[in-house]
Structure 1
Amino acid sequence: MEDLNHHRIKTNGIFLHVVEKGTGPLVLLLHGFPEFWYSWRHQITFLVNHGYHVVAPDLRGYGDSDSPLSYNSYTLFHLLGDLVGIIDHFGEQQAFLVGHDWGALLAWHLSLHRPDRVKGLIAISIPYHQRNPDAKVIESFRRIYGDGLYICQFQEPGRAEKAFARYDYLTVMKKFLLITKTDNLVAPLDMEIIDYLQTPSVLPPWITEEELQVYADKFQETGFTGPLNYYRAMDMNWELYGAWQGSKISVPSKFIVGDKDIGFDTNGTREYVLGDTFKSLVPDLQVVILDGHHFIQQEKAQQVSEEILAFLHKLSVD
């Protein structure tokens, strides 16, 4: 993808690397873990060709963006400040947000705090949840899944980095990016999650060895501490978000999820997504369930691109 424009822009006290192309309404594509801008390679050109100005950043801690060492610098408020700075940099009052995984969380929460800056949002794989007022995030996860849950294992600084280092970077990417519904993100207590996850012997048709190597090469340059710091700040986010307990998202929203996403059938998520509570928190909501897994914007690239375009087009002409 050599025809893309690469910039490093100053925002919120750090420099972020962004990939940018096109003219028209601004669309921010926000990646998740463990990815960087490259996870949107299929959507970037598609949306540009349909009249949109597309910006795909490497989020704080990822890729060629700055990576503060302390997890104290990775609260949602830090990350949302980065996004407002990107929108300001391109001289726009509003942007469309498209986020996957952690990027979906950012899209939800920027829409919660700054609906004046968001024209509409598409969240992929991760729905919007209310904060549990009775228990911090990690405590809640431990009660449900135990200490073997990957999020719990990621809490201790250096632990996951040390475990990941037992494998080459390509193998780490395969273990996470190719995860399926039959996998389990809760390891036995005597195992690290990276040891527990299987390495597929055959690649699925939606990704090549060369594409996986692009991920591996980038993470070999940058390491995993920045991305893991998002998880280490989860309880800080809980502490900071008490004032927004029960808040609703008024921005027009679309949620896309794969029916075989490992998280979709976990702990009542399917029932939540299809039930009344989710829609009560996000009143202007459309839900789309596709045949696929967690990294569905890559696995079902054309379908997801068309779902994004239909939503953007509707709001662009309204």
Structure 2
Amino acid sequence: MQGEGPLVVLVHGFPESWYSWRHQLPALAAAGFKAVAVDMPGYGSSAKPEAINRYNQVALAADIAELATQLGADEFVVVGHDWGAPTAWHTALLYPDRVKAVVGLSVPYGGRPPLPPTQGMRRLFKDAFFYMLYFQEPGVAERELEADIPRFIRAFVYSCSGDNPRDYFRAEAFPADATLLQTVTDPGRPPAWMSAADLAFYVGEFERSGLRGPLNYYRNLDHTWRLTEHLQDRQILQPALFISGDRDPVPKLGREYQRMDHAVPGIEKIVIPKVGHWTQQEAPAAVNRALTAFLNHL
């Protein structure tokens, strides 16, 4: 936590931690905000519930609202990247009287889909590998990835970053029975925007805590869908901003990006050139400018 002023809660994604916001905390504090970056459930120093269903987006949104309450804020802004983006979108939907504005990075919000998400993924990828489907069976991905955390972090981060010249999801169709590490490229070192110390921080966090909690977010895709039937036609009406990189493969999946204008009327969209999925780490200066400009206009 850094700064004093209106509360801005920063929610990380997979496989990250509060540390993914290390460049934003001082910038937001200098701009006159109280910036708080959290370790989400299952990560770092936070609680690691055993029940898989505890990692659904309704429960996670309640966690963010309760955190704001404990920090003494009736109103707050929520900013989320990767899995943190769905948490930010759902917090805005479920607590419209408390969320003053919402920012999503990398993962757009197109409204509640007509089918359970894993059904849509199986239709889209058919007989090809897709990592979210690979993560569904408890224990499978844990056994593969926890055997070599440094390799997993290096390869996964590189393959979804702007450094990778290929679209990770579309460059090569691997069979559905492939494993994750068969589909990613390990450059043997972290990218230029991630120092050796940064990589070591992430590796240390996951070697201590494991990947079961983080992977459980993926195992709640359909459970969250079932819990949110009452949100089927609800729009996000607060001021909203979406930031992505033009080399990020995630916004190109499905139709959520195209549907976002209806699901989030008036949303502002910013696309940063030569940037992949790890938006706020790959382009911290551009993200900081976008965030502070958006917040200052509220």
TM-score by length of 2: 0.92
Q: Does the 8 Å contact 2:190/2:199 carry over to 1?
A: no
Contact 1:183–1:197, Cα closer than 8 Å, also in 2: no
Q: Tell me, what secondary structure is at the counterpart of 1:288?
A: strand
Q: Aligned residue for 1:172?
A: 152
List runs of 5+ in structure 2 lacking aligned partners.
none
1:298 equivalenced with 2:281 (yes/no): yes
Aligned length: 289
Residue aligning to 1:136 = 116
Instruction: State the partner residue of 2:141.
Output: 160
Mapped contact 1:70–1:229 kept (Cα < 8 A):
no
Q: Find out whether 1:145 has 2:118 as its counterpart.
A: no
Question: TM-score w.r.t. structure 1 length?
Answer: 0.87
Q: Which residue is 1:31 aligned to? A: 12
For 1:284, give the aligned amino acid. Answer: G
1:75 to 52, 56, 61: 56
2:67 pairs with one of 80, 86, 105: 86
Equivalent residue for 1:282? 264
**C-alpha displacement at 1:166, in angstroms?**
3.4
Task: Please say which of residues 81-90 and 173-182 is displaced more in the overlay.
Answer: 173-182
1:161-310 superposed matches below 5 A? 161-167=142-148, 169-180=149-160, 182-185=166-169, 187-201=174-188, 203-268=190-255, 272=258, 277-291=259-273, 292-310=275-293
Q: Deviations over 1:4-51 (max 9, x none)?
A: xxxxxxxxxxxxxxxx12111111011001100000000001111221
**Alpha-carbon offset, residue 188 of structure 1:** 2.2
Q: Distance in 2 between matches of 1:184 and 1:146?
A: 17
Can you list the C-alpha shifts for 1:250-276, whole angstroms capped at 9, x where unaligned? 010000010000123334566x1xxxx
Q: Following TM superposition, by how much is the alpha carbon of 1:174 offset from its aligned partner in structure 2, in angstroms? A: 0.8
What is the Cα deviation at residue 171 of structure 1?
A: 1.3
Distance 2:254 2:68 in 1: 36
Judge which range, 179-188 or 224-233, deviates more. 179-188
Q: Structure 1 or 2: larger strand share?
A: 1
Choose the corresponding residue for 1:125, options 94, 98, 106: 106
Q: 5+ residue gaps in structure 1?
A: 1-19
Q: Deviations over 1:68-120 (max 9, x none)?
A: 12211111111011111100001111111111011111111111111111111
> In 2, are the aligned partners of 1:69 and 1:225 still within 8 Å (CA)?
no
Counterpart CA distance in 2 for 1:258 and 1:183 is 12
Q: Secondary structure at 1:165's aligned position in 2? A: helix
Deviation, 1:189, is: 2.6
Q: Residue type matched to 1:288 in 2?
A: I
One-letter code aligned to 1:295: W
C-alpha separation between the residues in 1 aligned to 2:150 and 2:29? Answer: 30
What code does the residue aligned with 2:95 have? R
Aligned residue type for 2:44? G
Tell me, in whole angstroms, the C-alpha distance in 2 between the residues paired with 1:205 and 1:184: 19
